Amino acid sequence: MHPTSHSDPAADAGSPPPDDAALALYLHIPFCHVHCTYCSFNVYTRRERLIRPYMAALRREIALVAAGTSRAALSVYFGGGTPSLVPADEIRATLEACGRAFALTDKAEITLEVNPEAADLDLAGLRRAGVNRLSIGMQSAHESELKLYARLHTQSDVEHMVRRARAAGFDNLSLDLIYGAPRQTLRLWQESLRAALALEPDHLSFYSLTIDEGTTFERWLRSGRIPLPDPDLAADMYEWATDTLAAAGFEQYEISNWARPGKASRHNMQYWRCRPYLGFGAGAHGYAAGIRYATVLKPEDYIARIEAQSAPGPFPFSAAVDWVERIDRKTAMAELMIMGLRLTGEGVSYTDFARRFGISLDSVYGPAIAPLKAAGLLASDPDGRLRLTRRGRLLGNQVFMAFL
């Protein structure tokens, strides 16, 4: 469905955030040297020749979409794929385009995902360009697991990248880790997390491995090359990590994310609070004006569509948008519950829910909440917030299904 077919895209949307709400900007970089075995993202190998024309198209899309709004942006996130394949001068030019288009301030959080093996990465140039947060894909401290994932780096590469980043002036570093992988033991996971903590990151994200359709892991599972991950063992890993990170001074602010005080990802908080974000680039997703949308997948198609667009379209669309979904009131309420409950510290505010939808939370979801409280999965706190309990975090999907 082409977005320009809608004369009033927000006409039947359900209670979106205010029209002047600040935006988060997600910029998808779909290029990789290798496709990781667990990855189901929109990424492509052997397309390095497209990087510069792709970045030019990305900047053009930013300008076209911004012409339809006067909103400011509070964050920019270069995700992928492998954004660290993009030269620093292209990152600088793209951030300048974001600043012109969305009144990006000096206090904005600017994140770039980095692969540890990028030994020639111009970290000082990225810092000068305005990037102030790096997300480093560590995944594991063990060579056997990194080979299983088809990662190109070693643990020494991770250590070297962290040292270089600190020397370049980065004071906000995040490390990504994977747990619950095939044949991963509790001891291996503990060693990886301890190795990550030894690098003194400001933020840690770790994810229980899921085997998605179309991945190399899915083919290996069907052929018997790898076993199905053990969910009970993954739960033990999660519980141990929760205690270990708390003892190390990290605050858990989301089911899969921990941070030093003041270092929670402001960009990702935008997603979990169901606030507006714009997605730019091939296969990017966005949510604004009560509409969710996604852009065309192939980078060649994306470049061609943007180059052919002569004038801005209705906000938040560009010619690269491939499909749109209107978010009705019922869906908006359900998404606020599911996403908000992922925020382990913040949860869902009864007051904010009523303010946004004009109806009390209990009148909508009271019958769903009561049995979850009785089962010890949800709790209402004296400060007027509904939160997952510690047990509820382990059974989050079961809780979330109650709101669909």
Question: What phi and psi, each to the nearest 5 degrees, are found at residue 29?
Answer: -110, 105
Strand runs labelled E in 99-202: 109-114, 133-139, 173-179
Contacts of 290 (CB under 8 A, 6+ apart): 9, 10, 13, 14, 15, 16, 326, 327, 332
- Proportion of the chain in helix, strand, coil states, percent, rounded to 5: 40, 20, 40
104-150 pLDDT tens trace: 877 899 999 999 999 899 999 999 999 999 999 999 999 999 999 99
CA distances from 248 to 134, 194, 314, 346, 397 (A): 21, 10, 48, 21, 28
Q: Which pLDDT score is estimated for 17?
A: 57
* Torsional class of 159: left (φ above 0), alpha (ψ -120 to 50), beta (otherwise): alpha
- The pTM assigned to this predicted structure is 0.93
Please report, in tens digits, the pLDDT of each residue of the chain (404 residues total): 334 333 333 333 344 555 568 999 999 999 999 999 999 999 999 999 999 999 999 999 999 999 999 999 999 999 999 999 999 999 999 999 999 999 987 789 999 999 999 989 999 999 999 999 999 999 999 999 999 999 999 999 999 999 999 999 999 999 999 999 999 999 999 999 999 999 999 999 999 999 999 999 999 999 999 999 999 999 999 999 999 999 999 999 999 999 999 999 999 999 999 999 999 999 999 999 999 999 999 999 999 999 999 999 999 999 999 999 999 999 999 999 999 999 999 999 999 999 999 999 999 999 999 999 999 999 998 889 999 999 999 999 999 999 99
Contact 149, 36 (CB under 8 A): yes
pLDDT score recorded for residue 12: 36
Sole residue written with tokens 């900007």: 25
DSSP per-residue codes, 351-382 = HHHHHHHSS-HHHHHHHHHHHHHHTTSEEEET
Are 66 and 185 within 8 A, CB to CB?
no
Burial of 96 (0-12, 13-18, 19+ CB in 10 A): middle
Distance CA 197, CA 364 (A): 42
Between CA 219 and CA 212 the distance in angstroms is 10
Domains of the chain: 3-272 (3.80.30.20), 330-401 (1.10.10.920)
Structure-derived torsion over alpha carbons of residues 182, 186, 189, 194, reported in degrees to the nearest 10:
180
Distance in angstroms (rounded) separating the CA atoms of residues 273 and 21? 12
Q: Which long-range contacts (CB under 8 A, 24 or more apart) does 91-97 make?
A: 91/126, 91/129, 91/131, 92/125, 92/128, 92/129, 92/130, 93/55, 93/59, 94/27, 94/55, 94/58, 94/59, 94/62, 95/129, 95/130, 95/131, 97/59, 97/62, 97/63
